[in-house]
Copies of this chain bind each other. A is one copy, B any other.
């Protein structure tokens, strides 16, 4: 069976940039059996020295902003220019729906067929922390396989934006015209995470309005602290249909990298992201272990009830839980 492919062979094949084996490697990392987990970690450790050499771009957007279309056209432009582009999706809700996002590949048919592209649907199970972990490890594997640009797409709403911001170098937000209305439906604080805002569908009858919206966002961004030190978040119009503005977005990313590199911030952010990841996994492990003990969940629920009824102090509740 394919599953028993030796780790050393898998390592070599991924080093040789085999997309098929990259996919197998990622499946190994996502597996929940003990043997696969061990093999997956061994594979990752083998490939770790080859990881890190990419630009990691996070992409989020308001519903209907056309993320897939943008990613397809942006990815195709980069692939045609000789870059190797991997597209990954982070979907914290997939643990609820119980399946990967359908159509991740069909949505981006042309990009999926490009020899320089690799599209991976979101992991299918686990807590947000789990998805987070798998996606981070997947990123490292893609880099080892020679992908120099990673596009990390957030799917759904919720905590995913903050999680993705903590995994990427540059964070992009796709919006539509009408800043005010848009923002009403947007998660709080999301604009402050962005290094760049793209006003999408800036074409045809919509172009004029889009340009106005770009200016509105620039005004608004003026009021916000930069998400990255010294960088003022940009706002620019893009049409994926007319393929305009895509190169400008890429230029923005490159200027950003240059600025961050010059101040040492690029590497510093990566290091602090790794530390945060480690800390959050320690945290997750402590919580998971604690609540896996028999009866703990029920005890917490009971104590919570007593707390809300005013029969117990919070300190007292914690003491009972650990006593």
Binding site for B on A (CB under 8 A): 41, 44-45, 48-49, 51-52, 133, 136-137, 179-180, 183-184, 186-189, 192, 220, 222-225, 227, 271, 274-275, 277-278, 281-283, 285-287, 289-290, 300, 303-304, 307-308, 310-319, 321-322
Contact = CB atoms under 8 A, between A and B. Distances in A.
A184 B225 contact: yes
Contacts of A287: 283, 286
Contact of A180 (B222, B227, B300): B222
20 contacts: A41-B315, A41-B316, A48-B310, A48-B313, A52-B310, A133-B314, A180-B222, A183-B223, A187-B225, A188-B189, A188-B192, A271-B308, A275-B304, A275-B307, A275-B308, A278-B314, A281-B314, A281-B315, A282-B290, A286-B290
B225 A314 contact: no
Nearest to A189: B189
A140 to B, nearest CB: 8
Contacts of A222: 180
A82 B122 CA distance: 59
Contacts of A136: 314
A281 B318 contact: yes
Contacts of A187: 225
B223 A316 contact: no
Given A188-B189, A223-B179, A300-B282, A137 B313 contact: yes
Count of identical protomers in the assembly: 2
Contact of A45 (B282, B283, B316): B316
A189 B187 CA distance: 12
Given A179-B223, A225-B183, A307 B283 contact: no
A196 B229 CA distance: 29
A180 B219 CA distance: 10
Q: Which of A281, A307, A314 has the most chain B CB atoms inside 10 A of its CB?
A: A314
A225 B137 contact: no
A133 B315 CA distance: 8
A317 B278 contact: yes
